[in-house]
Structure 1
Amino acid sequence: MKLTNLSGKYITPERIFMFSALFVNAGNYIYNLALGRLLGPKEFADAAILITFLLVLSFLAMTFQLVTAKYAVLFENNVFINFLGLLTKYTFLIGVMLGVLIIVFSKNLQNIFNTSTSNMFVYFGLGVPIYFLMSINRGVFQGYKKFDQLSITYQSEMLSRLIITLTLLYFIKVQSSILVAIGILISFVFGMFPFKIKRIPIKKIVLSSEHKRVVLKFFLLTAFYECTQIIINNSDILLVKHYFDSYQAGLYASLALIGRVVYFVAWMFVMLLLPTVVKKEKERQPHAGVLLKYVGYISLLSLAIVTGSYLFPELVVKIMFGKAYISIAPLLWKYALATSVFAISNVFAYYFLSIDRYVPVILSALLGVAQVVLIIWFHDSLDQVVLVQIIAMMLLLLVQLLFFSSYILKKRNTVKQ
């Protein structure tokens, strides 16, 4: 009996999800590292574009996931079923339209990003509607705090992509970027399981005007914020691919993949943060402590990674990508610092999104645009590209901290009155 109690106390769904997220992140890193070693800097530059497109897609899809998760907490019974049916319908339509656009403009994308083939974008475009539906499914699990099933969807996607892509590259002698794109497409199908979206009304879906209004407002603001995430988190790789040759772009892509480990782990805490904060806000309970707990975890992790990158940069690069990428080692700790600061400020932003405070979203957008402008102006070297990102992310964290301090002071003054 005591053993059962201890098991229930320490092996919670949240902790299972945390360990699962670490496993998934590790798997994604193995996938990236394996591609880097197998393909070499030049071919890896094309694969890195696909990986970047996948990250961009994940940010867009996160809009649907977060909207689903939030209203899984706030809406109940038939209201939620109707909401889910309506959102699924529009999500699929948006996915189809975006996928068609990618396929139609695949040749243009090839020219913009200097890739060896346009077919890689065609296969990627085919998977967009599936990925968006997958995100709705994950949003249901997240909102209901079914973290064990949420973990399985992420594991299915990661493991299938890793195994299928490496198998294709080993056995089939076709252009590597096409095989990587096919592996990504197939992994989206595996990521759909377990499938939760079953109770969708077949008849005409009805949602009240008030519910439509609040959902649309949150959806648009979340979509706007995810677009700022795309700009901040991916513009550097795309701009480097545009301004530098394939070899330099491949080196920079490896740097980005190593340095972003903090950011990927931070997503795990965002998944746990949102439903908890929304529930506490609904019940009028204090929730700033939840934010500070997760910020503390990410700050400690960031400190460890930046320190390790500063002390042992060449060792890290050799272990992860090999000697062909060693010239990028001096930039590793700087890029890890920029990403760490971004990851911390990102948690603040999602916290405020959860409680319908939208000023941080606008602040993030302004700093995201500033980062792009800075890279366009200052790109004489990869070192300069990283430096301007550190400056932009430091400013972003500063304004997020100032807004949080102002918010806490206002709440305390309201309680006193």
Structure 2
Amino acid sequence: MTFNFAKSSFWILIIANSANVAQYLSQLVLGRYLTVADYGIFNAVNSLGLLVGGFIAAIPYIVSKYMIFYQDNHEFRNNLLNKIIVFVYVSNFILLAILFLFVNEIGLFLKIESLTPIYIFIVLIFLHVIYKLYDSILQGLRMYVTHSVQGAILVFVRLLFIVLLVVYLSHSYNAALLSQVFATVIVLGLIYHISRKTIRVTNKNINIPRTIYKDMFRYSIPVMLTWGILILISNMDIPLVKHYFDEYQAGIYSSASIIGKIGYFLPTVLLHAFFPEVINNDKLGKSSIPLLAFMLGITLLICASYVLVVFFFKEALITLLFGEKYLLAGEYLTRITIFMSIVGVITVLFNFFLAKEIYYYLYASTIVMFLGCLAFVFGEMNSPNDILSILLYTSTALLVTTVLHTFYRYREHLYGWFYKERYS
């Protein structure tokens, strides 16, 4: 593991987790100033936005991979990047049109009478795609600290708008959703200004071979499948609770989900630096096993510690963060924390495999997710715990199958390493 990565990781942990604190302050403000039912609607719309925009997660991986691969040829890199930008904009407008066509169906799924929050969420997805595009350019330039700083600015600006619109002007969940729109527009202007200088094209006559586009398309498929799996399993719980149960139960469950996911977000902020560094190591012919060991170690340490904190102090955490009206969330909190800790480990492994262009894990993962979906289709949902149980079993199966398949596939390498270490 390089010293620069360790140094960057230190600052990223501080900056990004400061942003996480502000993010959770936003949730705490909303949890206290909105009714439990309105809070459930807000989080259901928010989580559905993450699911619908799941393909957005492919953008940073594709952009950063090819920016690093062609980092020594700036003109070629910038021309290729501008082609990617045009493609993303066109795809974004198509997605916008599709979402507007299905706006009534989205409202019916979430059982929301007013379509106003759905329209706001569609606009937010449109803006978030553009934001993610320019944000990924910073990642591709390996400007990890700058990337973390602008992410923190986004969260703090959003918190300010929430305080203004929800606390002082006493508006409801629509104002909370609009706060995200306003903050995204402001920060989008900032990162566009930063990246514009770097990606300026001075020679438009450079020819980009079609094989590169084919490679990008082939690479995008496992990336979208991987992040489709991760986003589905980590964000589908709240929309499902809102779909099967009423607003009050969704609000109670949302508070547990927000608290339970803290342990997941604390270490995974490093993935923005981890993924490009693994790609860069491959290009330089260096091993990335120390980086993987570092990421797994810090993820397990933080997640396990947080599980213990939640297990012993869950009622105190709920009361401190959301107030006594959410104490019923304790019924779900410990299991959500364990579930998201498992997802955290899976996320690290999947990111490593994507960076190394190893895709075998998708076969078993797709089968596991399909079986999980069947459980939702044919299972009877009597309480949010039934939804949580399926997600917990599915995530455990994902982790076990991935680890076992990895050991089986690379058993000869592992045996060779073991005997070398034992008898040397």
TM-score > 0.5 by shorter chain: yes
- The alpha carbon displacement at 1:85 in A equals 0.6
Distance of aligned partners of 1:258 and 1:206 in 2 relative to their CA distance in 1, 3 Å threshold:
farther
> Partner of 2:271 in structure 1?
270
Of the three residues 386, 404, 407, the one matched with 1:405 is 407
1:61 partnered with 2:63: no
> Partner of 1:178 in structure 2?
174
Contact kept in structure 1, 2:48 and 2:239, CA below 8 Å:
no
Map 1:193-212 to 2 at 5 A: 193-195=190-192, 196-198=195-197, 199-201=199-201, 203=204, 206-212=207-213
1:365 partnered with 2:366: yes
TM-score (norm 2): 0.89
Map 1:66-145 to 2 at 5 A: 66-75=61-70, 76-145=73-142
Please identify, of 134-143 and 100-109, the stretch whose mean Cα deviation from structure 2 is larger: 100-109
Q: Which runs of 5+ in 2 are unaligned?
A: 420-424
> SS where residue 224 of structure 1 aligns?
helix
Contact kept in structure 2, 1:309 and 1:332, CA below 8 Å:
yes
1:312 partnered with 2:313: yes
> SS where residue 112 of structure 2 aligns?
coil
Contact kept in structure 2, 1:299 and 1:344, CA below 8 Å:
yes
Task: Extract structure 1 runs of 4+ deviating beyond 6 A.
Answer: 8-11, 413-416
Percent identity, please. 18
Contact kept in structure 1, 2:78 and 2:200, CA below 8 Å:
yes
Q: Give the whole-Å Cα distance in 2 for the aligned partners of 1:10 and 1:90.
A: 32
Of the three residues 30, 35, 50, the one matched with 1:35 is 30
> Partner of 2:45 in structure 1?
50
> Partner of 1:187 in structure 2?
183
Contact kept in structure 2, 1:41 and 1:246, CA below 8 Å:
yes
The residue type equivalent to 2:178 in the other structure is I
> Partner of 2:226 in structure 1?
225
Contact kept in structure 2, 1:56 and 1:230, CA below 8 Å:
yes
Q: Give the whole-Å Cα distance in 2 for the aligned partners of 1:31 and 1:194.
A: 23
TM-score (norm 1): 0.91
> SS where residue 191 of structure 1 aligns?
helix
Map Cα deviations across residues 46-85 of structure 1 (whole Å, 9 max, x no partner): 1112321343366432210111111111123222112211
Q: RMSD between aligned alpha carbons?
A: 2.5
Q: Give the whole-Å Cα distance in 1 for the aligned partners of 2:61 and 2:338.
A: 27
- The alpha carbon displacement at 1:133 in A equals 2.1
Answer 1 or 2: higher relative contact order, Cα 8 Å, separation at least 6: 2
1:396 partnered with 2:398: yes
> Partner of 1:292 in structure 2?
293
Contact kept in structure 2, 1:161 and 1:187, CA below 8 Å:
yes
The residue type equivalent to 2:85 in the other structure is T
- The alpha carbon displacement at 1:410 in A equals 4.5
Contact kept in structure 1, 2:253 and 2:332, CA below 8 Å:
no
Q: How many residues align?
A: 409
Q: Give the whole-Å Cα distance in 2 for the aligned partners of 1:274 and 1:12.
A: 16
1:155 partnered with 2:143: no
> Partner of 1:4 in structure 2?
none
> SS where residue 191 of structure 2 aligns?
coil
Q: Give the whole-Å Cα distance in 2 for the aligned partners of 1:37 and 1:166.
A: 12
Contact kept in structure 1, 2:364 and 2:401, CA below 8 Å:
yes
